């Protein structure tokens, strides 16, 4: 908080603690019509870092460090814009986007802000994005029976999990919707039949795709006794089931044109911009960096991208 107060001169700053590490820092100066949202949390340190991930290294062309690309570089740029101008400005900083629940923004939007546009910072090479995929995450549990592996006919939870994985990856809707089996666990030893197993999987559906229909297809492949436990659903942008979100994105397109930007192509990753749109708040995704550098070892963002983001964000702030 001390860093926020020092870096945001003239801002009224309010902090809301939603518990479990979910904090919203709402910083406002004047009465701006545009809100900037940045998540300040990061993923854990990936394997393969060549240096301390928590120490920022700035070279002649890059800033290297955990979260530099996703998306602390944008936060640094916005603080720089705040210091360079005394124009009205509104920042909403959150702390749980990477946790996979989005408690901060979901709770914040229970009382949607009265703004014309929310700019959600994510790595888009400073191109304003108006469409992206949704995300659905689930846990599967499989049940077998403990037995000696020399016994035949005993139901193995691990075997069931393996068969489901092969079947779902071969499903015609798997690849187009970016299905990923991210974690498989189960069993004890190679000479014991597994009594239990667990899979974490998710997919990213395009706007206009019914994610419930996809889940029904994947559920149909589950063996007897297996159960699916929902973890997280993030709507596509705009939401395929909410006319309010589509209306909000029409407004976002108009705002982008007003600022003189050309919208970029839809992206395959999910962002909390869809939550703003679902709440009726026009939203665009725009920030420095490229998604290929996010969540990687030696994560980095180009200094040229940070400079471009400064110019773009300052244009928006100065426009009023």
**Domains of the chain, each with CATH number or no CATH:** 2-133+236-319 (3.40.630.10), 135-234 (3.30.70.360)
Q: If residue 142 lies in a helix (H) or strand (E), which one and from where to where?
A: strand 135-143
Q: What is the mean pLDDT of residues 254-264?
A: 94
Give backbone dihedrals phi and psi of 277, rounded to 5 degrees, phi first.
Answer: -65, -40
In angstroms, rounded to a whole number, what is the distance separating the alpha carbons of residues 167 and 164?
5
97 is catalytic: yes
Split at pLDDT 50, 70, 90, the class of 236 is very high
The reply to whether omega before 147 is within 30° of 0 (cis) is: no
Indicate the pTM of the whole model. Answer: 0.90
Task: Name the catalytic one among 97, 122, 272, 299.
Answer: 97
pLDDT at 191: 95
In angstroms, rounded to a whole number, what is the distance separating the alpha carbons of residues 308 and 318?
15
Split at pLDDT 50, 70, 90, the class of 320 is low
Looking at every residue in the chain, the average pLDDT score rounds to 94
Q: Which string of b and e fits 282-307 if b means at least 16 CB within 10 Å?
A: bbbbbbbbeeebbbeebbbbbbebbe
Split at pLDDT 50, 70, 90, the class of 240 is low
Q: What is the mean pLDDT of residues 208-212?
A: 91
pLDDT at 192: 96
* Other C-beta atoms lying within 10 Å of the C-beta of residue 170: 10
pLDDT more than 90, % of the chain: 89
Dump the DSSP string for 253-275.
Answer: HHHHHHTTPPP---BSS--THHH
Residue range 127-183, pLDDT digits in tens: 999 999 999 999 999 999 999 999 888 999 999 999 999 999 999 999 999 999 999
pLDDT at 242: 58
Q: What is the mean pLDDT of residues 302-312?
A: 98
Residue 4 clears pLDDT 90, i.e. is over it: no
Residue 241 clears pLDDT 60, i.e. is over it: no
Residue range 10-55, pLDDT digits in tens: 999 999 999 999 999 999 999 999 999 999 999 999 999 999 999 9
Q: What is the mean pLDDT of residues 115-135?
A: 96
pLDDT at 248: 82
- Residue 33: burial class (beta carbons within 10 Å; 0-12, 13-18, 19+): middle
Residue range 167-207, pLDDT digits in tens: 999 999 999 999 999 999 999 999 999 999 999 999 999 98
């Amino acid at each position: 908080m001390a860093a926020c107060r020092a870096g945001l001169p003239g801002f009224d700053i309010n902090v809301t603690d939603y518990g479990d590490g979910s904090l919203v820092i709402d910083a406002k100066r004047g009465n701006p019509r545009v809100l900037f949202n940045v998540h300040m949390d990061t993923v854990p340190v990936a394997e393969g870092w060549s240096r301390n991930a928590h120490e920022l290294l700035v070279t002649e062309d890059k800033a290297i460090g955990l979260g530099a690309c996703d998306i602390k570089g944008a936060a640094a740029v916005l603080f720089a814009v705040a210091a360079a101008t005394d124009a009205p400005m509104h920042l909403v900083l959150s702390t749980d986007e990477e946790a996979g629940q989005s408690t901060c923004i979901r709770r914040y939007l229970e009382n949607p802000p009265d703004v014309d546009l929310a700019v959600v910072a994510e790595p888009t090479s400073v191109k304003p994005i108006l469409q992206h995929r949704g995300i659905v995450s689930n846990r599967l549990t499989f049940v077998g029976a403990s037995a000696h592996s020399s016994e035949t006919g005993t139901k193995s939870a691990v075997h069931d999990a393996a068969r489901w994985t092969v079947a779902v990856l071969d499903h015609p809707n798997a690849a187009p919707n970016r299905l990923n089996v991210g974690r498989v666990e189960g069993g004890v030893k190679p000479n014991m039949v597994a009594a239990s197993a667990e899979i974490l999987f998710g997919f990213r559906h395009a706007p206009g795709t019914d994610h419930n229909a996809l889940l029904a297809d994947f559920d149909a492949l589950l063996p007897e006794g297996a159960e699916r436990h929902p973890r997280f659903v993030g709507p596509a942008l705009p939401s395929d089931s909410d006319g309010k979100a589509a209306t909000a994105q029409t407004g976002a397109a108009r705002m982008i044109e007003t600022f003189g930007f050309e919208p970029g192509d839809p992206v395959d990753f999910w962002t909390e911009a869809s939550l703003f749109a679902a709440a009726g708040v026009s939203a665009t995704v725009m920030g420095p960096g490229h998604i290929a550098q996010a969540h990687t070892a030696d994560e980095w963002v180009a200094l040229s991208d940070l400079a471009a983001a400064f110019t773009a964000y300052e244009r928006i702030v100065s426009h009023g």
